[in-house]
Chains A and B, each alone.
Chain A
Amino acid sequence: MAKAASLKVSVWRGGADGALARFEVPAHDNQTVLDVVTHIQRELDPSLAYRFACRVGMCGSCAMTVNGRARWTCRTHVRKVVGPDGALELHPLSNLPLIRDLAADLTPFFEKWRRARGQFEPKDAPDGAVPGEFAVVPPASEARREADAGIECIGCGVCYASCDVVAWNPEYLGPAALNRAWTLVNDVRDGARGERLDAVAGDAGCHSCHSTQSCTERCPKNLDPSAAIAGLKRRLFWDTLTGRR
């Protein structure tokens, strides 16, 4: 791609009724979208609000909408997403309330993790005590492999912002919370399997998923929340048919 000398960056400013502001940022060979946003704040407009912490793809706080698509900005090279004329358009994450500029409020996202019972509840020590024995969990067992497939989620909200069902149904728990629930349903040390399956069932839960797989397509960690949701549906289907719930 022909390299433009400078990037023409449109950035969302203000709240929900805000507008795009245009900035010109020097283009470099190696430059992430987060570098561009940081340049704008440090050199051009210190009032720009955005969120980041680790800059290396671990913390999950810098996700934004880049040229119409939710991405982690710290690991997104400008040259992979920029238009031929050097155009970049940055919005905050979709499907979330807006605080200001590029900072979305992730409260509903994490509240839904809680509603999906996304916290580990030890079977052997419900009061939080350390169990006397170590749990033996064969890494190659099927349940452990299912759990391992989903545990690297960093909670960036990219899947949630990319999900059509969240846009249609604000109550829907969303891909990340359901993926988390599926890892715990497969954790043999966890004691809240039944309550968790109750929490993720129905129209606000896994049964609303259309399996269009935007979450899987866009997950920066290459996780597969779609498969996790399908797993929850399968488990609830057989549990319901056989009268276990």
Chain B
Amino acid sequence: MSGASDRRRAPPQAGAAGADRPRAARSQTHLWVAQRVTAMVLAVAVAVHLVTIILAVRGGLSAGEILGRTRGSEAWLAFYCLFALAAGLHGAIGLRAIAAETLGLRGRGADLAWLAIGLLTAAFGIRAAIGLYA
């Protein structure tokens, strides 16, 4: 077990780079809060999604039936947009933590990249939702 390889050097002292720490910590906290809030949204949205699937496949599943439910419905549009936004952000923030711990990928640049990936994923979902509405 704990041999030579896992001994760690002392972490660097908070110096010039440490001045940015409160701001960095605050944006990291915001990402964490965003993940918790999107998790709450997903808890409800995934349940609605699964129930809808089960109801929709009764009596056959067709493009016409799906479009009949979603086309022109602002409620479904709003639901799927929120769902896609929550899923995109939640997934990207989770991958960010995994990448930081397993690959050591950290820093402001990485955080902005993950945010962009999350929003891009969400944009694909929102585009699909608009396609079902229009």
Would you call A85 an interface residue if the criterion is a C-beta within 8 Å of the partner chain's C-beta atoms?
A: no
Which residues of chain B have C-beta atoms less than 8 A from A108's C-beta? 8, 10-11
Residues 1 to 17 of chain B near chain A (Cβ within 8 Å): 1-2, 4, 6-11, 13-14
For residue B33, CB closer than 8 A to chain A, the reply is yes
A171 at the interface (CB under 8 A from B): yes
- Which chain B residue has the least Cβ–Cβ distance from A109? B10
Q: Are A202 and B9 in contact (CB under 8 A)?
A: no
Verify if A32 is at the interface (C-beta below 8 Å from B): no
Q: Within 8 Å of chain A (Cβ to Cβ): is B60?
A: no
Q: Does A169 contact B (CB under 8 A)?
A: yes
Tell me the complex Cα distance, A204–B101, Å: 12
* Binary B-proximity of A43-87 (CB < 8 A = 1, otherwise 0): 000000000000000000000010010000000000000000000
User: How many residue pairs at the A-B interface have CB separations less than 8 Å?
Assistant: 83
Which residue of A107, A168, A202 contacts B10 across the interface (Cβ within 8 Å)?
A: A107
B32 within 8 A of A: yes
Contact stretch, chosen from A121-129, A150-158, A235-243: A235-243
B63 CB–A CB distance under 8 Å:
no
Q: Which residues of B contact A96 (CB under 8 A)?
A: 7-8
Interchain CB contact under 8 A, A169 and B33:
no
| B1 contact set on A, CB distance < 8 A | 65, 68, 91
Q: Which of A91, A202, A237 contacts B25 (CB 8 A)?
A: A202
In the bound complex, do residue B26 and residue A201 qualify as a contact, i.e. CB atoms below 8 Å apart?
yes
> Cβ of A170 < 8 Å from any Cβ of B?
yes
A111 to B8, CA, bound (A): 14
Contacts of A240 in B (CB 8 A): 29-30, 33
6 smallest beta-carbon distances between A and B, as pairs: A202-B25, A202-B28, A94-B2, A168-B101, A207-B32, A16-B4
Binary contact track B22-43/A, C-beta < 8 Å → 1, others 0: 1011111110110011000000
**B100 interface hit (Cβ, 8 Å):** yes
Q: Within 8 Å CB of A237, what residues of B?
A: 32-33, 36
Please give, as numbers and ranges, the residues of chain B lying within 8 Å of A138 by CB-CB distance: none
Any B CB within 8 A of the CB of A245? yes
Q: Is A227 in contact with chain B by the CB < 8 A criterion?
A: no
Given A105-B10, A170-B8, is A198 in contact with B25 using a C-beta cutoff of 8 Å?
yes
